[in-house]
Structure 1
C-alpha cells in the first residue's frame, strides 16, 4: 500500500486528490472509495494509505482501499 497526504477533498463535489509520499503525481480519490473504506471523510493534511486501481474504460488511476495511516 502507498501512503500519501490528502491535498484537498470536497464532499459536495464528491472527489479530491492525495499527494503521494514518494513525490509522484497526485492521485484522484472519489467519494465512493471513501465510503467503501468506511471512512467518514477525508480532510486536508490527513495521512492515508491506499492502493491504486486503473479504470477499465478511461485508463486513469484512482485511490481505493483507503485507511487512516
Structure 2
C-alpha cells in the first residue's frame, strides 16, 4: 500500500490527483477507485493500477 495526500479532487466531475508521500509523484484517481469519501488534504492509502494513460490510484481510503 502506498500513502499520500489528496492534492485535488473535483466531486462534480468525479476525479482528482493524489501526491505520493514517498516519491512526490502524482497519480490520477477516479471516483470509481475510492473506498472512502475524500476531500483535498486528506491523507490516504492506495494501490496503483495500470490505466489507459498511466498508473491510476485505486482502493483509495483515508488513514
Instruction: Normalising by structure 2, report the TM-score.
Output: 0.89
Provide Cα deviations, 1:4-50, integer angstroms capped at 9, x if missing partner: 0000100111100001101332010001111xx2x1x2111100000
Name stretches of at least 5 consecutive residues in structure 2 with no aligned partner.
none
Instruction: Normalising by structure 1, report the TM-score.
Output: 0.82
How much is the aligned-residue C-alpha RMSD, in angstroms? 1.2
Name stretches of at least 5 consecutive residues in structure 1 with no aligned partner.
none
Report the structure, 1 or 2, having the larger strand content.
2
What are the residue-to-residue correspondences of 1:24-63 with 2, within 5 Å?
24-34=24-34, 37=35, 39=36, 41-55=37-51, 58-63=52-57
